[in-house]
Each structure stands twice: as C-alpha cells, then as structure tokens.
Amino acid sequence: MSEDRLKKDSLNIFQTIALSVAIMGPSASIAITAGIIGSHVGSAVPLVFLVSLLIVGCVAVSIVKLNQTFPSAGSVYYFVEKTLGKRAGFISGWLIALAYLMLSVSCIMVSCAYLQILLSIFGVTLHWLFIGLLLMGLIFALAHKDAETSTWVMLLIEIVSMGMILLVARIILGNSQQTAGLSMVPFSLGDNNLSSLGYAAVFGFLAFAGFEGASALGEESKNPKVTIPLAITSGIIITGIFYVIVSYAQVIGFGLTTEGMAAFTGSDSPLSDLIARYLGTEIAIVMLLCMAVSFFTSTLGCVNAGARVLFTMSRDGMLCPILGRVHEKNNTPYVGLNVFVATITMMIVISFDLEAIQLAGYAALTGTLALLLSYIFTSIGAMIYFYKNRSWRGIRLIMPTVAIVALAFIIFANVYPVPVFPQNLFTYGVIIWLGIGIILSHNKGETIAPANTVSENESNSNG
C-alpha cells in the first residue's frame, strides 16, 4: 500500500492562522479564564495576561525556528524527534496528544455549560450530556470535511466573536466613570507574590494553549516555512493584545473596590454579567451564544491538530499503523479523528454526574500541564540543535532559556504546595502519564539524536 499523505499546498495563510486562533479560542477563553485568574491575584488579571504573553513569546521563538526548519503535521512531536531523538520525540508526542485530548474535553464542556444557560433562559431544562453528544456529532462531521472547509468555518466564527467582545470592551471603558475610572492598578503586583502569580499564570497560559496548532498544518499549508511561522507569530500578538484589553475592561467594569472584585471573581461568566449591565440582557444572550460557538470551534481545532499528531507518529512507526491512514476523498487523517472523537465522547459520557463546568476545569488543568511539559521538551531540543548547528549563539539563547525557566516555575507552582483535592489527582495524573510515556519510549530508539548540520537551503530560509 502506498504511503498515505495529507493534501499538500491546500491552505493559505488565513486558513493556517485559523487553526492556531481557533484552538486558543480568544473570545471563549477570555470569558472564563479572567475570573479564575482574578480569584488568585485580584485586580492584577491584565498583568498575568501580559506576563503570559511574554512567556508564550519566548516559547514561540523555538517553535517558529523549528517550523522554518522541519515543517510537518507532527508539530512539537516531530520537532523533538528531530532535535532530541526518537525516544524524546515519542514522549513529547505522548504529552501533546494528552494535551489536545483534555483541552478538547474542556472546551466542549464549557460550550455545553453556556448552551445550558441559554436553554434555561427560554425555559428549557436539559442535561448537558445530551447537548455534548449533539456537539460531538457536529465535530465528527466537520472534522472529516477537507481542511479548507473546517479552517474557514473556525476563522469566520472567531472573527465575529472577537469583534463583538472588543466592541463591548470599548463601551465598558468608555463608561468607566460608573466604577472608579481608568487606572493602572490592574498592571501592578499589589499584594501578590511570585507564588500566586505563578499559580495564576497556568490559567493565563491556558488562554494561549494551542498557539502552536498551525504547526500541525506543516504538510498542508502553502510555503509552510514562511506561512506557519507568520501564522503563529501573528496569532500570538493579536490574541495577546486582545486578552490584555478585554481583561482590563472586565476589571474596570466591575470596579477596583473589594465589592467589585468579589463580584468579578464570584461570577461564573463575568463578561456576560458585564454585557448585561452595560448593554442589556438581550445582547448578553447573543454573546453567550457566541462564546458557546467559540468553545465549539476550539474543540474542532484541538481535534484537528491532535489527529494530525497521531497521524505523523503512526507514519513514523511510533503508534499503530492504522492511525496513519488518510481519507481517499478529503485527505484527512480520518482514523486519528475517529479516535479523538470517540475518546472525548466516552470521557463525557462517564462523567455525566459532574457539572459541565466542573469537568471543564479539571480537563483544562490536566491539558495545560501536559502542554507545558511538551513545550519544555521543544525548547530544550531547539536550544541543543541550533546551538550545535551554530544558528544560535549568545543573546539568541536568552529567550528559549527564559521560556524553560518560566515554564518549569509555573509547573512547580502547581505541584508544590500540594494542590487541594481533587485538583491534586489531575496534577499528579499528568506526572503518571509522563512516566508511562517514558517507559513506553524505551523501544523507540536512541535518546538523543545527533544534531546534523542544517542544509544550506534551510539555513538561508531561516535567516
């Protein structure tokens, strides 16, 4: 049987950006993460997003450079395999698969929670499981379409949602005299320490989770060595600015008083509450629908990216060969997509007795920690590879070094002191998953791959 391949040169720059932005789901993420961060750092939410943006930027340096050198559907799995060897590559792929899986569960659960609220407004009471099964059916249908179709759907939905939220932020800031007026207090550390900032940063990082998603389109994008780095960079910058502005508007909208912060952190959907206060209930209902759809597209993005990682690992002999099959008509990794959809569906079915938003929080914590570990592997691999190939020297090593230290600190802050039950189960569950990956990696080849000299063409394309 001839090797299955994805559809080459089928996606333009906008469709490539769409996958990274859709996985991050800016309009959805800001609606839920801002309040969680506020519960740990008070009014310093914009500061946490700003710090998270800087850390993500440092991580992105390595991922952008690796995309310019090794474009592939395998994303960080393939990068680590090329820089640190097959065993390390397998571990990274093992982690990123868990990350995409758990982030998919988290996003679909938040979408269910918002749709539950919308239905209750119209007098309809329905368990979230029925909504979840319907949404997973739609995910299954869209994910199996050709990549051009699904990426355009994701991009258009996110543009509309982000545009509406920015309009709301503008109105809130324009009426800031209703609270305490504009202030720089949200950008100060205040009474917080590095430990609380580090713990909150995991949720700030969660808002950027999947920024590297465009890397999974390395075999389907036009001119991937240029398109994908541009997609990742622009996606991070646009999303980061969006987070800082909208989180600042939320803090100012509730007010910097003790009562205002209590209302902010105590709300299940602070952005919706602000919209209802400033624009009326009808607009808040529309925004709830937009946020539910945004989380839906985030799920679709995670499933698409995760299936392509499984496809590449299978093609490289790391997983079952069947995962490397591609649909004859749509050129999609349909077996990997089926595995993702089936696993997500099974997880939400067996968790039916939990609240949707509760399951979303547990899955988000698990997925983000797994993602942080995979980013550390990627940054270390990039530093070793490009240092040996004389691409990076001196000051160029600063940003990936900062990324590794910052990521390690965020993970440490979420492991020690020991989190309260049941968060500790999910935190240490990631460590167990990592241990299993290390054990399974023993028959995957050498630990460290030699840093072969980059070809002259690659060096020229890297600048």
C-alpha span between 151 and 221 (Å, rounded)? 12
- CB-CB contact of 392 with 117 (8 Å): no
Higher pLDDT, 327 or 305: 305
pLDDT higher than threshold 60 for residue 356: yes
The pLDDT score that the predictor gives to residue 457 is: 39
The pLDDT score that the predictor gives to residue 82 is: 93
Q: Over the Cα atoms of the chain, what is R_g?
A: 21
Cα separation values, 191 from 40, 186, 198, Å: 11, 12, 14
- Mean of the pLDDT values across residues 355-366? 89
Position 412 confidence tier, pLDDT thresholds 50, 70, 90: confident
Residue 195 domain flag: yes
Q: How many domains does the chain have?
A: 1
- Mean of the pLDDT values across residues 58-64? 92
Higher pLDDT, 124 or 201: 124
The pLDDT score that the predictor gives to residue 96 is: 93
- CB-CB contact of 110 with 32 (8 Å): yes
Cα separation values, 452 from 81, 82, 237, 346, Å: 13, 9, 32, 43
- Mean of the pLDDT values across residues 415-427? 76
Residue 294 domain flag: yes
User: 317: domain range?
Assistant: 13-447
Sequence-separated (6 or more) residues with CB below 8 Å from residue 389: 451, 452, 453, 454
Sequence-separated (6 or more) residues with CB below 8 Å from residue 395: none
Residue 140 domain flag: yes
Residue 458 domain flag: no
Residue 463 domain flag: no
Side chain identity, residue 333? P
Residue 5 domain flag: no
pLDDT higher than threshold 80 for residue 85: yes
Least confidently predicted of 20-34, 109-123, 346-360:
20-34
The pLDDT score that the predictor gives to residue 204 is: 86
- Mean of the pLDDT values across residues 144-158? 72
The pLDDT score that the predictor gives to residue 445 is: 60
The pLDDT score that the predictor gives to residue 247 is: 93
The pLDDT score that the predictor gives to residue 390 is: 87
C-alpha span between 96 and 453 (Å, rounded)? 27
pLDDT higher than threshold 80 for residue 211: yes
Return the structure tokens found at 103: 């982030």
Centre a 10 Å sphere on the Cβ of residue 226 and count the other Cβ atoms it contains: 15
- Mean of the pLDDT values across residues 198-202? 78
Higher pLDDT, 442 or 416: 442
Residue 457 domain flag: no
Backbone φ, ψ for residue 73 (5° rounding): -75, -10
Higher pLDDT, 115 or 147: 115
Percent of the chain with pLDDT over 70: 91
Q: Which of 400, 402, 427 is nearest to 412 (CA)?
A: 427
Higher pLDDT, 15 or 461: 15
Position 313 confidence tier, pLDDT thresholds 50, 70, 90: very high
Q: What is the mean pLDDT of the chain?
A: 84
Least confidently predicted of 125-134, 172-181, 378-387, 429-438:
172-181
The pLDDT score that the predictor gives to residue 10 is: 65
pLDDT higher than threshold 70 for residue 1: no
C-alpha span between 51 and 42 (Å, rounded)? 15
Position 268 confidence tier, pLDDT thresholds 50, 70, 90: confident
Position 4 confidence tier, pLDDT thresholds 50, 70, 90: low
Residue 4 domain flag: no
Residue-wise pLDDT for 153-188, tens only, equals: 777 878 888 888 898 899 888 887 766 678 888 998
CATH number for the domain spanning 37: value is 1.20.1740.10
The pLDDT score that the predictor gives to residue 451 is: 45
